[in-house]
Amino acid sequence: MNIKDRYAPSPTGLQHIGGVRTALFNYLFARSSGGRFILRLEDTDRTRFDEAFVQNLYDTFAWLGVHWDEGPDIGGPAAPYVQSGRFDLYKKYAQELADAGRAYCCFCSAEALETLRKEREQAHARETGYDRRCRSLSPEEAADRKAAGESHVIRLKIPLGETTRFRDRLLGDIAWKNGDINPDPVILKSDGFPTYHLANVVDDHLMGITHVLRAQEWLPSTPLHVIMYRSFGWEPPEFCHLPMVMGQDGKKLSKRHGAASIDEFRRQGYLPEALLNYVALLGASYEEGKDIYTLQELSDRFGLDKLSKAPAVFDYKKLEWYNAYYIRMKDNEALARLALPFALEKGLFGAPGTSPDEDRQAAFTKAMPLIKERVSFLREIPEKLQYLFSDPQVPAAAEFIPKKSDLPKAIELLKLGRSLIGPVAGLDDAGAEGFVKQQAENAGAKLGDLMMPLRVALTGSRVSPPLFGSIRILGVKRSLERIDRALAELE
């Protein structure tokens, strides 16, 4: 079998974790089996449709590095891949079902349906949905009323008194009583617009979709889709309803749990590799004892047998761990490129948006090794490097004083540290540490006591990225200027 699957979002909102997980699993399944992965836009909900959401979809998957083989932006043999461009097809197939007696025209007005609903509500009736009153209309009467221009919809005939059975690749055999399905649902509206169910089934069939991988929330719709396939005389695709993605509280992942849209993750400074790696493990496992995978490795290993029936819990701490790992793995130039937009936004090189000159760009790149092990998000980088690009305020005198010491001793140590700046700037970390340690011993001081006032004078804080690397980036002149300014304040 030539496997073909799809991601078919409705462009009515920003791309979120749940949608990306569905798209990723479809992508990986197609790649692992040598099949084709399709993008289709299901834009029949015109009230909430927005082109901005379409662009967000394209931007999101370009950023993630997930590409489809056919889609609205690249075309393909089943074009168009946007449902609003396929309305004539849906009308044609809805009419075919009506002509075959497997669907029918319904002339009930919205007012009549609302009256029915209220009557049932007042009577506390168990029945819900449409009462099938137009199902018994003869074809001749229906044709006459249509010819007279009477407004109507087309409804699917749900076989009565039967059970619809299908197999789900993850959940196994499913049996659904037809009495529990929405009674004779509308498949074509009075304005000629299809409902989701008709468009979905027609498109999956015409596009040759062999496997439908989608969230378990769509499981109740599947019996209706299977009935529609059989009404057309078509073979249904294989279904696989993916495990839910839950928050730590056991409820479906949503905004209340934190960042949900991919845009928000990007703004917080997550890397695409981290998101892909982590999301690919939400409800799936690949190799015992292995956590880190490239997209290619995931593509090689994925299979429906790797999926779990149990809901997946989205753990932001675990994702943070992945992000920190991938930040550490970046080379300095690549990390600087990724961090630069955050630095510009924060105004690291002047006013927000100000680009660095050549010297500052070089210093920014050289500073990457100083913070790689100390950040989990790209957005943290500018704050941690602020001291390199603008002189920090001189802290209160108490910040310079080592434990069990006093201000005169701190000043003495800072003066000693000042004398070491020139030699330290020309040494690597190991050489600088050995040199300063020897000078501290010669002065009868602890290494930490000597380093602390020096660190505070140069960085404005007791806690900072590695000091020797900072001195090399600041240079001897700027380092001495900062120490002299601190000494002037302290003295």
Contact 169, 238 (CB under 8 A): yes
Q: What is the pLDDT of residue 257?
A: 67
The whole-angstrom separation of Cα 322 and Cα 314 is 13
255 catalytically annotated: yes
Residue 255 has pLDDT above 70, yes or no: no
**Percentage of residues in the chain with pLDDT exceeding 90?**
89
pLDDT classification of 129: cutoffs 50, 70, 90? confident
pLDDT tens for 211-233 read 999 999 999 999 999 999 999 99
Nearest residue to 27 via CA among 296, 357, 321 = 296
Selecting from 3.40.50.1700, 3.60.140.10, 3.40.50.620, 3.90.1640.10, what CATH number does the domain 4-82+245-313 have? 3.40.50.620
**10 Å Cβ neighbour count for 154?**
22
Residue 427 has pLDDT above 80, yes or no: yes
pLDDT classification of 277: cutoffs 50, 70, 90? very high
Three-state DSSP state, 101: coil
Location of each CATH 1.10.10.350 domain in the chain? 397-490
User: Which tokens belong to 357?
Assistant: 């000159």
Location of each CATH 3.40.50.620 domain in the chain? 4-82+245-313, 86-242
Give all strands (DSSP E) within 263-315, no chain letters.
312-313
The whole-angstrom separation of Cα 191 and Cα 138 is 23
**10 Å Cβ neighbour count for 103?**
26
The whole-angstrom separation of Cα 219 and Cα 320 is 32
Residue 258 has pLDDT above 80, yes or no: no
Three-state DSSP state, 351: coil
pLDDT tens for 294-338 read 999 999 999 999 999 999 999 999 999 999 999 999 999 999 999
Residue 259 has pLDDT above 70, yes or no: no
Residue 404 has pLDDT above 90, yes or no: no
CATH topology for 397-490? Arc Repressor Mutant, subunit A (1.10.10)
The whole-angstrom separation of Cα 288 and Cα 242 is 21
For tokens 């993008």, name the residue. Answer: 39
- Average pLDDT along the chain: 94
User: Which tokens belong to 162?
Assistant: 């039967």
Three-state DSSP state, 106: strand
Question: Strand pairing of 312-313 and 245-246?
Answer: parallel
pLDDT tens for 144-173 read 999 999 999 999 999 999 999 999 999 999
Backbone φ, ψ for residue 150 (5° rounding): -75, 130
CATH topology for 86-242? Rossmann fold (3.40.50)
Residue 54 has pLDDT above 80, yes or no: yes
CA dist list (Å): 347 to 344, 354, 394 = 5, 7, 21
From 177, 255, 309, 318, the catalytic residue? 255
pLDDT tens for 1-37 read 799 999 999 998 999 999 999 999 999 999 999 999 9
- Find residue 266's DSSP bridge partners: none
What is the helix (H) or strand (E) element at residue 4, kind and residue range?
strand 4-7
Q: What is the pLDDT of residue 332?
A: 97
DSSP code string of 359-426: HHHHHHHHTHHHHGGG-SSGGGHHHHHHHHHSPPPPPPGGGGPPTT--HHHHHHHHHHHHHHHHHHHT
